[in-house]
Amino acid sequence: MSASYQSVLWNRQKKIYDQVLGGFIVLYLATFISSNLIINPEITQETLIIRSFGTLAILLLHIILMIGPLARLNTVFLPLLYNRRHLGVTMFFMAAIHGVFSIVQFHSLGNINPIVSVFASNIHYESLTKFPFQALGFIALIIFFLMAITSHDFWLHNLSPRIWKTLHMMVYIAYTLIILHVLLGVLQFETSPVLVSMLAVGMIVIITLHLLASGKEFPTDKPFQSQVFDQYVMVCSVDEIKENRAKVVCLEAERIAIFKYGNKVSAVSNVCKHQNGPLGEGKIIDGCITCPWHGYQYLPHNGSSPPPFKEKVATYKVKVVNREIWIDPTPFPEGTEVEPSIIK
């Protein structure tokens, strides 16, 4: 969380994250290249680079796509989410090295532009076995490029979280293109079952995790059925909410997080202004609601980030009657002061 833009807001967690990532990349490349040289000593340097960086990029892409649903399913994985964008940018660079070397190797010696050659040198678009699979990889690389250059918070703020998130959800389209790139490309002449099996396992794991996570999330969006009195909806008993934690309900258009802290209750929008993280799954630290994704903070009584920060979320009117929490589902404008309800 920062009041001004910096290229990278380094802290101890990010440094450890990146050191582990760097170590993993070096270890993977060393293992892949040395084992390939042992198995096939005649392999060229260009082929080694193309294959090692290509497989590394796919592996990193699978890890990236696993982090989101894992964090939704279990909070143990939240630390992996914290610095996922560094992982994403690294994956783009690995994929770019694979792409650039492939284009130079296979498309730079003709008499047409190498980029045009990717799409025009093979025009068997009707064939499965001869499909120009490199075109699919190139389109995926463009999507990864757009994601990498807009990964900084500067773009998040200027594009708005909604547009930024929509843009970054194009990773699913890119993932589909990458799977097809491999299926219609290397798997059409790869005789070893190892690569096919690894890709199948990775794909099944990704799909299963995302289906489980979305299956867990989706029911929460069903309209909350409860008693209604004078615009207020009865949500739960105060005893159902742990100290400094929240209960999340979906009363109208969006989810609401109802926090209990001390002998007070306040309600704010569940959507963090940074990356739309689930505020209700965070906790109150130093008097502030703290987003579990990247630590953005808001004061529970007015939904505003403490100065000098400027983020604001909508607040809601709450009252506690006979230890029952009642909430008016009509949101106040973002950052509106609402007196917390006192638990008597």
Of 3, 38, 109, 128, the residue at the interface with another protein (CB under 8 A) is 128
Tokens of 96: 């770019």
Instruction: Pick the piece of the chain touching another protein (CB under 8 A) from 20-28, 143-151, 165-173, 319-327.
Output: 165-173
CA distance 280 to 43: 54
CA distance 270 to 4: 24
Residue type, 336: T
Residue type, 217: E
In sequence order, what are the residues at sequence separation of 6 or more whose Cβ sits closer than 8 angstroms to the Cβ of residue 343? 238, 260, 263, 264, 265, 320, 323
Site for another protein in 145-164 (CB under 8 A): 162
Task: Count residues binding another protein (CB under 8 A).
Answer: 37
Of 183, 205, 236, 343, the residue at the interface with another protein (CB under 8 A) is 183
Of 7, 74, 129, 225, the residue at the interface with another protein (CB under 8 A) is 129
Instruction: Pick the piece of the chain touching another protein (CB under 8 A) from 88-96, 110-118, 149-157, 213-221.
Output: 213-221
165 interacts with another protein by CB under 8 A: yes
In sequence order, what are the residues at sequence separation of 6 or more whose Cβ sits closer than 8 angstroms to the Cβ of residue 307? none
Q: Are 314 and 268 in contact (CB under 8 A)?
A: yes
Tell me, residue by residue from 255 to 294, as one string, x for binding to another protein by CB under 8 A and - for no binding.
x---------------x----x-x----------------
46 interacts with another protein by CB under 8 A: no
7 interacts with another protein by CB under 8 A: no
Q: Which is nearer to another protein, 176 or 227 (CB)?
A: 176
210 interacts with another protein by CB under 8 A: yes
207 interacts with another protein by CB under 8 A: yes
229 interacts with another protein by CB under 8 A: no
Closest approach of another protein to the CB of residue 335, in Å: 18
Residue type, 74: N
Tokens of 310: 């400027």
Residue 4, judged by CB atoms within 10 A of its CB (0-12, 13-18, 19+), counts as exposed
195 interacts with another protein by CB under 8 A: no
User: Is residue 193 reached through a cis peptide bond, with omega within 30 degrees of 0 on the bond before it?
Assistant: no
CA distance 132 to 119: 7
Closest approach of another protein to the CB of residue 292, in Å: 13
Ramachandran sector of residue 342 (left: φ over 0; alpha: ψ -120 to 50; beta: rest) = beta
- The residue ranges that bind another protein (CB under 8 A) are 128-129, 162, 165-166, 169, 172, 175-176, 179-180, 183-184, 187-191, 196, 199-200, 203-204, 207, 210-211, 214, 217-218, 221, 250, 253-255, 271, 276, 278
